[in-house]
A and B are shown apart, each in its own frame.
Chain A
């Protein structure tokens, strides 16, 4: 009953805003001179303020890429930190132009909230972390293990599904916050800690001896995280989508921040089309031909972005895994820019 009421109220609200938000976001952004981007209030490697108060992270870099593509300046972003509960409302009500806030792409969200997912900037999934002393090399050896979980229904449900499917037993040890979960793991309350893989690496740093624990290779759930825009503005949707593709294409073609200027004289037609030396690609999106050049010059390609924020260049040290290019066994794939 309560749930019905809430959704009725939400639906009412949606009707009210959906009429208002049909205006062209690109024109708004150009007029305002900045992109309003909803980010997380703090998630290691994805969006967090650094020592100087500048927002950094993989999600933040998507906002910067869109700003570079539309306004030619990656710094023209107004970051609106959003809570998990208010993120969709903020997008629907026009408080933000796009949402780049580790949001999992699901059918319900895509279909019923008046939103469009513009791609996947990080393929996440639930994984396991064990102490190296345990000598376990695969999650399939975890029969009878005590598992530390942070209270949160999907994590618990995924875990239950996985163990039931393999016919194994486990003992759940539930904690409230991630800090408590880590302490429980460190104190030996459980043999294995489960959470989204991107989080496991962050939790590992919190251990007093991070090297004593390892993340197992198995991923037991699909959590594709990506930027979200409002439905009803296809031009803006395309811009965000292709800004992501430009990041991946640049990595595919080996174009980086440092060599992008030399690459401008490249004879490879794909590079020419990407960087706008062969004219005509930008206008399909309503942008300058230098849109992708600006992205790569100011933000970098997807690989650079990944390594800088969550990969080997960061404290997290997450391996590319599913997020490698499709040519290297990963899932990051971009349709051709032509």
Chain B
């Protein structure tokens, strides 16, 4: 009796593996899907090729006036001619180095924080959160160390967007944490103050807050006490954003099991030690997506300041679109703004993902 020999394994049919198999399984599973696939592919190819032609091959890059643009494709000359204004706003030309120094310090801090092996990271983050904003303020505003004073109405463009966003981010996180702790506190006064604050500021739109700060507030103040418009806007943004931040932080705090607090108390730790050594480090890690989400929203919300006459990146591009010498290039302008916003938001999003991976202690 011959021994049973199974046939050798056959390779799967060629049309179920590889690229062909993948396409059959995902793109051409039936007549309707096949038609849709072909139509979508056609649309995408057509759209992309049109966009590349418009934005790249037919576009004009060199020149200094609108006459240098042929009008067939995009006119990037407009963006290039105005680039320094878009980035530095109305800052006096001979003082622009101050903004560059600020950008440089900022970039250096971020890079140092992102590289795994930087020594003394704690001090660098402290500097980024406390020292850097102070230095930037004096760099931008001037008035000391022989720096010429540049008033805030000359700030604008990307610089202003970053200033508002960074101030909002740096200030709203600690205030938000305190408010979240306050809302979970056992002390009735602190708890009710936190709840009223959070619910009030979450209940009004940011645009209303900015409008109140810029239009109504000056009417109620005596004529001498004139505060800066940018200052008013920034305080409004911070107030608003910290309420949102508080709720994100509270969400994170609720995810930490009660046993953690009880264990900390059993060890004899005080309330603040429990919070800062045990609860918050765990909670903040969980909250990274939520916090970054709020930051990104804040970054995009900064462009609302244009309704109160501050020239952030979007507003300065819009005002450039109104220059009689450059009328009619709004598409290029808005694409530029969208691209800049995308770079920053995408950067933040990637950084938060990297941070999550690094801090992951496998609770997933």
Contacts and interface: CB of A to CB of B under 8 A. Distances in A.
Interface string A87-98: 001101111000
Interface string A48-59: 111111000000
Contacts of B315: 41
Contacts of A202: 322, 324, 327
A44 B327 contact: yes
Given A13-B216, A86-B215, A315-B327, A53 B90 contact: yes
Contacts of B226: 94-95
Interface residues of B, number: 41
Most buried by B among A23, A50, A314: A50
B319 A13 contact: no
A80 interface: yes
B325 A315 contact: yes
Contact of B219 (A13, A48, A207, A208): A13
A85 to B, nearest CB: 7
A218 interface: no
A177 to B, nearest CB: 9
A43 B322 contact: yes
B291 interface: no
B223 interface: yes
Interface stretch (A14-22, A232-240, A270-278, A279-287): A14-22
B307 interface: yes
A323 to B, nearest CB: 17
Nearest to A55: B90
Contacts of B318: 41-42
Given A42-B319, A90-B218, A51 B82 contact: yes
B214 interface: yes
A205 B223 CA distance: 43
Contacts of A13: 216, 219-220
B327 A49 contact: no
B311 interface: yes
A90 B318 CA distance: 22
Contact of B218 (A83, A95, A179): A95
A169 B263 CA distance: 81
A42 B220 CA distance: 28
Given A13-B219, A93-B218, A86 B309 contact: yes
Contact of A94 (B220, B223, B319): B223
A125 B223 CA distance: 36
B330 interface: yes
A179 B330 contact: yes
A60 interface: no
B347 interface: no
B172 interface: no
Interface in A284-338: 310, 314-316
Contacts of B308: 83, 86
A81 interface: yes
Contacts of A9: 216
A264 interface: no
Interface residues of A, number: 44
Given A13-B216, A44-B323, A83 B307 contact: yes
Interface in B212-233: 214-216, 218-224, 226, 229
B222 A78 contact: no
B30 interface: no
B71 interface: yes
A205 B229 CA distance: 34
Interface string B316-339: 101111111101101000000000
Given A17-B223, A89-B219, A95-B218, A48 B307 contact: no
A45 interface: yes
Contacts of A310: 324
Contacts of A207: 328
Contacts of B151: 78
Nearest to B84: A53
B90 A206 contact: no
Nearest to B321: A42
A192 interface: no
B47 to A, nearest CB: 19
B71 A48 contact: no
A16 B327 CA distance: 42
B89 interface: yes
A45 B328 CA distance: 14
Which 7 pairs show the lowest CB-CB distances between chains A and B? A13-B219, A20-B223, A42-B319, A42-B322, A93-B218, A206-B328, A315-B324
Given A78-B153, A81-B153, A86-B214, 4 more contacts: A10-B219, A83-B308, A86-B215, A95-B226
27 contacts: A10-B219, A41-B311, A42-B318, A44-B322, A44-B323, A48-B319, A48-B320, A49-B316, A49-B319, A51-B82, A52-B85, A52-B93, A53-B85, A53-B91, A78-B153, A83-B307, A86-B214, A86-B309, A89-B215, A92-B219, A95-B218, A95-B229, A205-B324, A205-B327, A208-B71, A315-B324, A315-B327
Interface of B: 71, 81-82, 85, 89-91, 93, 151, 153, 211, 214-216, 218-224, 226, 229, 306-309, 311, 315-316, 318-325, 327-328, 330
